[in-house]
Structure 1
Amino acid sequence: MALHFLDFDYSEDEDGIATWDALASVPARRLPELLAELERILAWAHAEFGTPEAPLEHGGPWQYDLQCESAGFASRELHFDPDAGRLQPVLPPMAPEERITISFSLAAERSVSEAFSEQFLPG
């Protein structure tokens, strides 16, 4: 599945935990497309590996952190609702050219990381 907004950096710790980090900044008029891309990734992860019930350090297979910020409102954390397939909370209306920045990190054990790479990252 091709990604159009998110370009990931990869790192791995000494325990083999992989972290995929992406930062995207778009005008508000493009935000629905960026959010849809994030929702596709998170829907896939929930479908393949379940809802992250515990952090990695407590035996969970994966976790994520998703933050957004804009000059128009304070930085806030977004959460994915797997039943609705949508990110929450819904962001307030913004002027079409106002920029919003999303930071997304997905940390995972090796099998989840490899599956993520195969599903979303080119060659």
Structure 2
Amino acid sequence: MPTALLYLDFDYSEDDAGHGCLDAMADIPAARAPLVEAELAQVLAWVHAQRSWRLAPLDDGGDWDYLVHATPDGSAPAVLEYDPLRAQFKSSPTSALTTGRVVYTFTLSAREDLCAALREAFAIG
């Protein structure tokens, strides 16, 4: 049974080389930031658990790569770094926020077979 995502809404596209790209964005009140980060971590933990796929840029021969940004109101975007051993982000600029809004952007580029498996696992259209 697929895992439902409450905050992340993905768009999917493919290029001519057979690579897929999943993009998601969430614009939420700062108080809900931990919930969005938990969903992001859940997706990344699932991909990391698929040991047959190597994390590295596709242009360098990797199977998948990703980028996560968090942009609190009035701040510059910050890259969130995921720790696969702890299955959570190393640090977040939103952890101390209680007011305002935060915009998250998430891009995952991967081989077509990984994208298909990920879309099935999380019921991504």
Taking structure 1 as the reference length, the TM-score comes to 0.90
Indicate whether 1:73 and 2:75 are aligned.
yes
Partners of 1:122 and 1:56 in 2: CA distance: 22
CA contact (8 A) 2:54 2:63 kept: no
2:112 to 103, 110, 114: 110
Name the counterpart of 1:56: 58
CA contact (8 A) 1:72 1:94 kept: no
Partners of 1:16 and 1:117 in 2: CA distance: 15
CA contact (8 A) 1:69 1:100 kept: yes
In the TM superposition, residue 28 of structure 1 has moved relative to its aligned partner by 1.0
Gaps (5+ residues) in structure 1?
Answer: none
Name the counterpart of 2:23: 21
Q: Percent identity?
A: 38
Alignment root-mean-square deviation, CA: 1.6
Name the counterpart of 1:88: 90
In the TM superposition, residue 87 of structure 1 has moved relative to its aligned partner by 0.9
SS of equivalent residue, structure 1 residue 73:
coil
Gaps (5+ residues) in structure 2?
Answer: none
How many corresponding residue pairs?
A: 121
